[in-house]
Structure 1
Amino acid sequence: MKKIKQPVWDLPVRLLHWLLVATITAAWISSHRTGAAHEYIGYGAGAIVLLRLLWGFTGNRYARFTQFVRPAPLTLQYLREVMQGHAARYLGHNPLGGWMVIALLSCVGLLVVSGWLTTTDLLWGYAWPVLLHTTIAWTLIGLIALHISGVLFTSWQHHENLIAAMLTGKKAPAGDDDIE
């Protein structure tokens, strides 16, 4: 008997997520030789971030920042529960996942701005904008590693495939102990 799944992440959320994965991967691959391709990929990532920000205020329930960005005390309580092995299952993003979305989008946005700064006449030839851009890029890599680790850990902890959910947009409905 096949379990009925509930729609959670809509097509725009999933499409923007996977497009951002693709642009970040392409930017990383092209980073050894910066030029027009790397710049256009970066601007593409910036456009994706802007669209996701817009969708975070106008999209469906689970796309909205107001639904998944929780106050710091609640997020810290959730972290304690994760560490103790009894964190609640969230139908949408859990509090740590919500803040990770904000961190990742912010980091990509900063990467786009710092990359653009390296091309301006005012800062052309200075080393610090390139160092800043590189530092933010490595920070993004660290955040991505944390994000993937969190997805895998939460998938294991709650016995659900979050990667499949991000592809299909559907998850098992909320149970009695789950938070929507």
Structure 2
Amino acid sequence: MNPPKPVRDTRVWDPLVRVVHVALIAGVALGWATTEWLGAWHEPVGWATLATVAVRIVWGFVGPRTARFAHFVRGARATWRYARLFASGRAPRHVGHNPLGALMVLAFFACIAGLAFTGWLYKTDRFFGDETVEQIHVALAWGFVVLAVLHVAGVLVASWRHRENLVAAMIDGRKRAARSDDVI
């Protein structure tokens, strides 16, 4: 007889957080796609992606508990401690974002803001055609790819270690109820 599957009965991710997550994936993918072809769409896609980040930042202050930055963003010491525990396989399960997930959120937002800034700067009279600005923009785009790969790897490892499908949780917004040793 198979053991019963754990019930995912805690609403963690509200609809706006989930829609923003998908919108950012779409925005970055479209940003890449419109670099070489459909180039006229590249700039509006960039602005729309930045606007999505702005919405999520506002939601990080006024949204429900698990969407708020105060709930999941930790200081450097706590994040470093969690990273060491994660690397050793002893990190506690977090009902919302864990400290490394929070760091990734902030890194994604900073990268998108940097992409938008350098994209805008490149269109100004002063920096139009400036190779350095273009190189920074491209480096940020590739940096985002590296972050995305690390993010997916972290999600897969955390899902495996905590025996919880974090991809499904981001889709339906629900996770397994907290246990006594989980961080709420």
Pair in the same fold by TM > 0.5: yes
Residues 48-100 of structure 1 deviation map (CA, whole Å, 9 limit, x = unaligned): 01101111111110111111111111111111111211110000000110111
Matches within 5 A, 1:76-91: 76-91=80-95
In the alignment, is the contact (CA less than 8 A) between 2:34 and 2:40 conserved in 1?
no
Stretch of structure 1 that moved more, 114-123 or 165-174: 114-123
- Which runs of structure 1 show a deviation greater than 3 angstroms over 4 or more consecutive aligned residues? none
Distance (whole Å) between structure 2 residues aligned to residue 5 and residue 161 of structure 1: 13
Give me the CA root mean square deviation: 1.2
Q: What are the Cα deviations for residues 151-179 of structure 1, in whole angstroms up to 9, with x where unaligned?
A: 01100110000000000010001101100
SS in 2 for 1:31: helix
Alignment of 1:27-42 (within 5 A): 27-33=31-37, 35-42=39-46
SS in 2 for 1:27: helix
- Note if 1:103 corresponds to 2:141: no
Alpha-carbon offset, residue 4 of structure 1: 4.7
Show the counterpart of 1:134.
138
For 2:182, what is the secondary structure of its paired residue? coil
Aligned length: 180
Residue 84 (structure 2) pairs with residue 53 (structure 1)? no
* Aligned equivalent of 1:10, options 8, 14, 17: 14
1:118-157 to 2 correspondences below 5 Å:
118-157=122-161
More displaced, 32-41 or 115-124?
Answer: 32-41
Report % sequence identity. Answer: 42
1:62 paired with 2:70, answer: no
**Matched letter for residue 129 of structure 2:** G
Structure 2, unpaired ranges of 5+: none
SS of 2:112's equivalent?
Answer: helix
> Gaps spanning 5+ residues in structure 1: where?
none
Q: Distance in 1 between matches of 2:26 and 2:157?
A: 23
2:13 is aligned with what amino acid?
Answer: W
Q: Which residue type is aligned with residue 28 of structure 1?
A: W
User: Which position in structure 1 is the counterpart of 2:26?
Assistant: 22
**1:34 deviation in Å?**
6.9
